[in-house]
Amino acid sequence: MADELLRPTITANVDLSVRPWRLMSQAYVAFFGGVLAVTVIAFLNARRLGVDASRQRLIVAVGVAALVVSAVVVVFLTEDDASSGLRIATRVVAVLCCLAQLRVQRPMDRAFQLRGTDYKSLWGPGIAAVIGLGLVELVLLAVLAVTL
């Protein structure tokens, strides 16, 4: 009985049979795949967690803002021939983006943890996001750096 009282109230639109991905695993996607990859994974995970629509839009907005910051970093670092720090700078932006997106997901992730269910593996979707969206972001930023 006491265990039932400790469980948070979950809204009716949450599918309790769908398991989300562990939040900190998304940091690996951010580091290796970049902003686009982590934003897609964070958005999909937010849907799995039952995060409300306004907070899902916030996750996308943070991703768009981080992509703009990455573009600015690429433009400024390629002008100064400091391309050795380019990879590190874009990864820092992606990880900071991920941390902001994790903060949005955290309350519903805590509710998931209190249900006592295991997380779903992020290996397959994470690798797909890193390879697919990481390449898209790389091409997008490379084209931007060459044209400006």
Q: What is the pLDDT of residues 103-126, one digit of tens each?
A: 999 999 998 988 888 999 999 999
pLDDT at 85 (0 to 100):
76
pLDDT at 69 (0 to 100):
97
pLDDT at 82 (0 to 100):
57
Which residue ranges in the chain fall short of pLDDT 50?
A: 1-2, 5-8
CA 42/CA 88 separation, integer angstroms:
21
83-116 burial code (b ≥16 CB/10 A, e <16)? eeebeebbbbbbbebbebbbebbeebbebbeeee
Residue at 144: amino acid letter: L
Q: Residue 143 — left, alpha, or beta (φ > 0 → left; ψ -120 to 50 → alpha)?
A: alpha
pLDDT at 9 (0 to 100):
54
pLDDT at 2 (0 to 100):
47
Of 146, 126, 8, nearest in space to 79 by CA: 146
Predicted TM-score (pTM) of this structure:
0.88
pLDDT at 1 (0 to 100):
46
CA 55/CA 51 separation, integer angstroms:
6
